[in-house]
Amino acid sequence: MRRRLKRWLSEPATLKRNTKAKCMKRSLTLVTAAFFALAVQMPQAMSADLRLTGSGASFPFPLYSAWFKDFSKKTEGVTIDYQAKGSGAGIQDLINNTVDFAASDAAMTPEQIAKVERGVVLLPMTAGEIVLAYNLPGSPKNLKLPRDVYPDIFQGKITNWNDARIAKANPDLKLPDLPITVVRRSDSSGTTFVFTKHLSAISPSFKETVGTGTSVQWLNSDKIVAAPKNDGVTATIKQTPGAIGYIEWGYAKLTKADTALLQNKAGKYIAPGGKGGPIALAGAKFPEDLIVWVEDPAEAEAYPIVSFTWMLFYKTQDAPKGEYLRKMVNYGLTDGQKIAESMGYIPLPASVIEKVKAASAKIQ
């Protein structure tokens, strides 16, 4: 060390300056290279930060999950995180300004919309059937439930599977002497809203005793049990002999749950998953706010419990988010509709798609 220092001190000043210059040049080169490397990476890092968050309905979750995954895959740098918490929770998140969008089978009430300072755009994005899934020994198929019977089951008036009124509608089935366990939602649910809206439309006693809502006052009974979200109700039905509950058809299809044929307004028994759902929704007339209900369709071949389901957006968005939310909506109305039927949902009619596309321009 001393020798190197002595040698350096004895070197001419010119050589020292050259050595120092070389060191500075090398350092500058490294700094410049690092700067350009960072500059190349910055656009990627910035685009990867665009995360869209949503929450709400579990009714359309299997379909939305597929949409969001494919959209994120096709849209570089954008990810969508959606939590299926139930329609009520999604609406509350939108009101609290904790998400970029929400989803609800119950749309929103004027009172709820008034609480959102940034304004709301409601867009129907898909539709589906609510089915009555059941769990009986031997898995008897094609169980028929008359329209004066299934409301009474959910009021606790019919309590056994061998009840005379169920047996009369199913002379070819051997129904067990088994108590009925009703499985209903424990959370604030758009599926509950649509289901109870239908039951209230066809049963005056149900309307009076239970009523309509995302949360209602069910009969207090150990044979009426609660579970969260569509998947929770589905799992509880599958695990409980004698159970019956209301879920979206896509969940029943996915889990191969047995589902009942329901008697419609015209007196026909209609199975879910066929043409009955689209027939029931075909005549729906959308007002300017795009909120419409089909409580008890009259068409002869209509499945009786159907609904559209909505995505909820702020009218005023951050510029990048607004752009990509509109792109997400467009994806759902184009590529997304192509997979709806295969997953147990009802594709939107072309006339509805055009109205939704036009309304999506309000997301700014």
Res 45: pLDDT: 39
Res 283: pLDDT: 86
Res 319: pLDDT: 83
Backbone region of residue 62 per phi and psi (left: phi > 0; alpha: psi in -120 to 50; beta: other values):
alpha
Res 49: pLDDT: 78
Higher pLDDT among residues 328 and 36, named by residue:
328
Res 64: pLDDT: 98
Is residue 230 a contact partner of residue 61, using CB atoms and an 8 Å limit? yes
Give per-residue pLDDT as tens, 235-253.
999 999 999 999 999 999 9
Higher pLDDT among residues 173 and 19, named by residue:
173
Please give the Cα distance from 326 to 340 (Å, whole number): 19
pLDDT at 85 over 70: yes
Closest CA to 128 of 213, 234, 246, 211: 246
Res 228: pLDDT: 97
Closest CA to 343 of 160, 143, 152, 128: 128
pLDDT at 22 over 90: no
Give me the mean pLDDT over the 165-182 stretch: 98
What does the CA dihedral 293, 254, 214, 240 come to, rounded to 10 degrees? 130
Give per-residue pLDDT as tens, 253-303.
999 999 999 999 999 999 999 999 999 999 899 999 999 999 999 999 999
- Give DSSP secondary structure letters for 135-162: --TT--SS-EE-TTTHHHHTTTS--BTT
Residue 239 to residues 13, 118, 183, 328, Cα–Cα distance (Å): 89, 44, 11, 37
Please give the Cα distance from 55 to 312 (Å, whole number): 10
Higher pLDDT among residues 113 and 4, named by residue:
113
Please give the Cα distance from 181 to 129 (Å, whole number): 22
φ, ψ for residue 50 (rounded to 5)? -80, 100
Res 33: pLDDT: 41
Residue 252 to residues 157, 260, 327, Cα–Cα distance (Å): 25, 11, 30
pLDDT at 84 over 80: yes
Closest CA to 340 of 352, 350, 348, 331: 348
Average pLDDT value for the chain: 90
Lowest-confidence region among 38-42, 157-161, 206-210, 355-359: 38-42
Res 318: pLDDT: 86
Ordered structural domains, the chain, with CATH: 51-127+305-360 (3.40.190.10), 129-282 (3.40.190.10)
Give per-residue pLDDT as tens, 123-151.
999 999 999 999 999 999 999 999 999 99
Give me the mean pLDDT over the 99-114 stretch: 98
**Residues comprising the chain, all counted:** 364
In the chain, % of residues over pLDDT 90: 85
